[in-house]
Amino acid sequence: MTRPRTLVALVAGAVLGFGGALTGGVLADRPGEASLPAHPARPVGGTALPWQEASLFAEVYERIKRDYVDDVDDHALMEKALRGMVAALDPHSAYLDSEEFEEIRLSTMGSYPGVGIEVGAEDGVVKVLRPIEGSPAQQAGLEPGDELVRIDGNDIGADLAGAIARMRGASGSLVKLTVRRDDTPGLIEYALRRAQVEVHSVVQQSLEPGYGYLRITSFSETTPGDVGRAVARIKRDNPSGIKGLVLDLRNNPGGVLESGVAVADDFLERGVIVTADGRTPEARFRMDASAGDLIDGAPLVVLVNGGSASASEIVAGALKDHGRALLIGRRTYGKGSVQTVMPLARGGAVKLTTSRYFTPSGTSIHGKGIVPDIVQEGPGAPPAELLAGRGSAPLADRDTDVRVALDTLKIRAAVARRAALPVAMRALVP
């Protein structure tokens, strides 16, 4: 089976991805000036290109314009030169044109125009991972696992980026989706009117009485608030208290750095969460936890896999290093750098790696990832199952990782209850 490729595309084409594997990626992103797009950046002073290099660039440009076999568009040539220059630095730095810059800006805000579905490439086709609650896609009846066959009559195949591009559009405009559903003969057509979609990156449910499940699909500016509300709902559904929580970060490619730090802080009482080192003062920082634990110290298990990257690894690394959580699953992606998105004076932006970060133990996970405490074999559940799945079977019965996590929580909860008893009574408790 081909390895699933998840792209959170909630679909105005807002893209979160890692490395060069996914289109338009940004992880552990520090928005920087990107959060203030109304104020264009000024050219950086004191860093002019040395005249020898400038002369060489001009000479190559002149040769291309004069001698290349075909006419060359100046703008296209310059854009490719800029992309090549920045891409040569590392896999996570990139030049962004105005449209790509807007996509990244929207992806961190939690609200934008679209049809409201998360899609991913799986087994050579594009599938719906989850329709967003209250979105045009959910209201129309699209379901997790639906295969996108055509958009506005155009075949999709395995073209994930193309599917995203075709689903973009202004609020109020129409788009036609044709899907294939496993339990339905033939194809199903939907006519959707794009709208402003409020994206919530957190899914929660109760696994068994006292045991909750929290899945974070990405880290946007709204994620910390979504986590707080989700935990409150789990507490409401379990009035006797939370005995344990599964925090699912599988296939979460990351997102806004500060949001990842805030989520780690939700489960830590004290101590460093992450430190970073870079060339500028702004790139060197340390972020610490504040008092307060959303689940009051109840046992915590974090699920991870090779799709858990960047901000997800900051959360997992902090909780693991402090002994607050057990990690279960597969080695994480291994992205230990921070990118800052910087607007450019003439439009667009440059996304540059500005820091390298370290877990509380001082470890860099870059290129190595984090090895879970309990390593699971096999590829794990596909994305469509992770993001709600289909059918009536409980999640722990459909997903082996969740089952192992739940069983682990029960053991840890039992050990904690026994440890809380007076010494004379512990022998009476199994």
| Candidates 29, 248, 266, 321; catalytic one | 321
| Candidates 259, 335, 399, 401; catalytic one | 335
Q: Which of 344, 337, 342, 346 has the alpha carbon at shortest distance from 366?
A: 337
CB of 87 closer than 8 Å to CB of 94: yes
CB of 128 closer than 8 Å to CB of 146: yes
CB of 343 closer than 8 Å to CB of 320: no
Which amino acid, residue 147?
E
- Whether 310 is a known active-site residue: answer yes
Q: Which of 198, 237, 235, 234 has the alpha carbon at shortest distance from 215?
A: 234
- Whether 335 is a known active-site residue: answer yes
Q: Which of 25, 26, 22, 28 has the alpha carbon at shortest distance from 5?
A: 22
Full DSSP string of 134-166: TSHHHHHT--TTPEEEEETTEE-TT-HHHHHHH
Helices 257-265, 311-321: inter-axial angle, 10-degree rounding = 30
Q: Classify strands 174-180 and 117-122 as parallel, antiparallel or unpaired.
A: unpaired
- Whether 173 is a known active-site residue: answer no
| Candidates 220, 259, 308, 310; catalytic one | 310
CA distance 196 to 430: 54
- Residue ranges of alpha helices (H) inside 205-280 are 223-237, 257-265
Which amino acid, residue 242?
I
What the block records as the tokens of 215 is: 């899945």
Catalytic residues, by residue number, are 310, 321, 335
